[in-house]
Amino acid sequence: MQGTIKTIRAESSYGFIRTNKADYFFHRSDFDGHWDDLVSDYEKERVIEVEFEPTRTDKGLRATEVFRLDRGI
């Protein structure tokens, strides 16, 4: 599934991905890439496109295996 980064809470190591249908929680450990680069680009208000595996947990929707489409990192 594809989406864009909606929010990142760097100090807590998590964020949310927005898709056409829903928002998905992801943790830093779900991100396959350089977390600091992701945070830096988010803080610069860049649009960050990602691809991920959607899952449903007891707490709601979660994205796993998240990687950037714009950099391939």
pLDDT at 50: 98
pLDDT at 71: 66
How many whole angstroms separate alpha carbon 16 and alpha carbon 31?
11
Cα–Cα nearest to 22, from 65, 60, 67, 66: 60
pLDDT 10s digit of each residue in the chain, 73 long?
Answer: 999 999 999 999 999 999 999 999 999 999 999 999 999 999 999 999 999 999 999 999 999 999 999 864 4
